[in-house]
Amino acid sequence: MTELFDSLSEDEIEMIRLRYLKRLTLSEVASRYSITERTVRNHTNPTVKQVKEIIARATETMNG
């Protein structure tokens, strides 16, 4: 997972932090960066999906 986060820009990490840790809406994050909600989704969703997949695999291994 470290490699995944190392591959992200600082802006992408911050968008994820704002969206999922600070619980800002897509609109709020988009406003901060002067970009569209779609652009926020494009920068955050693939990473979040990969993190969920990593967690699911780890959980299967632990329960397996």
Q: Is 90 exceeded by the pLDDT of residue 13?
A: yes
How far is it, in rounded angstroms, from Cα 57 to Cα 23? 25
The mean per-residue pLDDT over the stretch 32-48 comes to 95
Q: Is 90 exceeded by the pLDDT of residue 40?
A: yes
Q: pLDDT tier at 12 (50, 70, 90 boundaries)?
A: very high
| pTM given for the model | 0.80
How far is it, in rounded angstroms, from Cα 27 to Cα 16? 13
How deeply is 29 buried, as exposed, middle or buried, from its count of CB atoms within 10 A (0-12, 13-18, 19+)? Answer: buried
